[in-house]
Chains A and B, each alone.
Chain A
Amino acid sequence: MNTQMPRRAALALYLGPVTLFYLVFLVAPYAMVLRLSVFRFSAMQLYIPQFTLANYTAVLTDPFYLALMARTIGLGVLVTVISLLLGYPLALKIARAGPRLKSLLIAITLSPLLINLLVRTYAWLVLLGDTGVVNKWLQALGLTTAPLPLGGNMFAVVVGLVHVSLPLMALSLIGVLERIDAALVDAADSLGASRARILRKIILPLSLPGIGAGSLLVFTFTISAFITPSLLGGNRVSTISTVIYEKFTFSANWPVGATLVMALLVINAAVIALHGRLFREA
């Protein structure tokens, strides 16, 4: 048993397959997209392999693309904030619940993730349409006379995205909240702190890593989401993802589509870097 493999060789053996996987299915595609993004667009032959920065100039100066990026980031921020506001009390309740209630609440919280994405999205279409369940009930109860514009707009997109983001946010928060030592709350209580002060001064600061992780997860997920904005937005809400789809299919402008992919990648990388900077100490 003295034929121990050198550490480095063993490491290569363990990490080799996953490295290869990432090289083939992640790095290589991105390299190809990057290459495509600096090629010239051609209506006749999709693209001409000729170096140009025109696509980047277009994306970074054209008001349409600037508004598109601002709208996508805004959507990400909005969904993140709503998920946080809804998810924090939920996570707090789950973290403090007894073992049986906790399992039940976690199962309920995770349920949106257990439904197929398309089924979930079509269900929202049924609920939020002009003749959908919600509008029918509102009119039946006499609360409204005409259907409210619930579907096919930004509202529907936000609702659909929050629905799937909430479990991600809640899970990130539960893990951190559960690890806060109960004795800290007792100590603050004995020192005279009200419930509000304990939340503000002890629990909230100590759960910042969870808020950071959950926000990062939800934001990057939201700005990259395609099916939800595309279906619930009813072709009236465009995000970077829906425009990328449009560029690679209907308008067949691959170079600009590739440039938008890179833009999305840069935004995500920037947010991850910002998160790393803010939560380095933890």
Chain B
Amino acid sequence: MLLRLPTMRAPETTSTTQPSLAVAGIQLQYGGVAALQGIDLEVASGEFVALLGPSGCGKTSLLRTIAGFVHPQQGAVRLNGRDVAGLAPRHRNIGIVFQSYALFPHMSVLQNVLFGLECRGIPKSAATQRARDAIGLVGLSAFADRRPKQLSGGQQQRVALARAIVIEPDLLLLDEPLGALDKQLRVQMQTELKALQRRLGVTALFVTHDQEEAMSMADRIVVMRDGKIAQIDTPESLFAAPNSAWVCEFVGAGNLLRGDAASILPGAPPGSVVQVPFDKLRVSPAANGMPITGRRFLGAMVELQMATPGGIVCAHLSPAAASAFTIGTHVHLHADPADCRVLPH
């Protein structure tokens, strides 16, 4: 069903020395309030990067800075080596998928997708062909003459995507692209979006507050907090080795043990925080242990929750192993020191 756009660039297999997007030393203030405090970020060509963080962390400000809607007080934004700091959005050649989709309500799907091509002065017939190819690529050929309000949320999302990629942008920005969709559709669109981005080989940066979404789509994740970058890593590394207790907690990379509990790890300096992945925390029945306070079936795993003096800790067990435990069962907790990590301060 999906067509190959002949005009699209092939995915780049060799990494070039020059990053597709380079952001350096961005300082952005809104009326005295610092939204971004020294952001440095490089995104390689063809890479799919997620900006992840809680609301108010500056991820949307960073996206709008890169897009050119806001102008930082300090710092540089380079696109394929071209300094775009002083350029208006219209001169940056960046495709954007807005959270609300921002489809033009008075235009058909085809007219929406044609808009960017018309702005570039591309002859009508060539532009129409490209627009139809892009609409086909997102599987909406049968809906080209519909108005946005005649489409479902998922279909509108695809139109927004087609409109953003048809201009062959140097960079694709997506602002909470799947936020308005229901859970099932969101998971399906995650897969589709990722596949499409790979096929087109377009460098993409997307904003999300949903760590699962970031994990499932991104090549690398930029975790942001209070206008700063907390950590940049691949989903696997981020999960295995968060660089702070905050990141560990935010991405859900395991239990945090503090104080006495941290002494579980021999040699851990006093006052340190120890990360124990949920599936590495073992439980054994013990009459003088602590009670299980919660039990959640997660599908492949069962989560047991225990209230410790240092807070709630969770253990993920296979359903078979978990059958021995119910709420109220008293247990002892163990972990192999090899599975534990002392988190940097």
- Chain A residues in contact with chain B, CB under 8 A? 181, 183-184, 186-194, 197, 201-202, 205-206
Contact = CB atoms under 8 A, between A and B. Distances in A.
Q: Is the interface of B mostly helix, strand, loop or mixed?
A: loop
> Considering residues B69, B93, B102, B106, which has the most beta carbons from chain A within 10 angstroms of its beta carbon?
B102
> Considering residues A190, A192, A206, which has the most beta carbons from chain B within 10 angstroms of its beta carbon?
A190
A172 B88 CA distance: 31
A190 B68 CA distance: 8
B316 interface: no
Contacts of B183: none
Contact of B115 (A183, A188, A205, A206): A188
Nearest to B116: A191
8 contacts: A183-B98, A183-B102, A187-B98, A187-B163, A190-B89, A190-B95, A192-B167, A206-B106
A183 B173 CA distance: 14
Contacts of A194: 90, 119
B147 to A, nearest CB: 10
Contact of B94 (A188, A190, A205): A190
B108 interface: no
B96 A190 contact: yes
Contacts of B143: none
Closest 3 CB pairs between A and B? A192-B119, A191-B116, A183-B102
B296 interface: no
B100 interface: yes
Contacts of A192: 90-91, 93, 116, 119-120, 167
Interface in B46-101: 67-69, 88-96, 98-100
A267 to B, nearest CB: 30
Contacts of B98: 183, 186-187
A201 B106 CA distance: 10
Contacts of A181: 100, 102
A252 to B, nearest CB: 54
Contacts of A186: 67, 69, 89, 96, 98, 102
A204 to B, nearest CB: 10
B59 to A, nearest CB: 17
Contact of A193 (B92, B93, B119): B119
Contacts of B116: 191-192
B163 A184 contact: no
Contacts of B96: 186-187, 190
Contact of B90 (A189, A201, A206): A189
Contacts of A197: 119
A191 B163 contact: yes
A192 B68 CA distance: 12
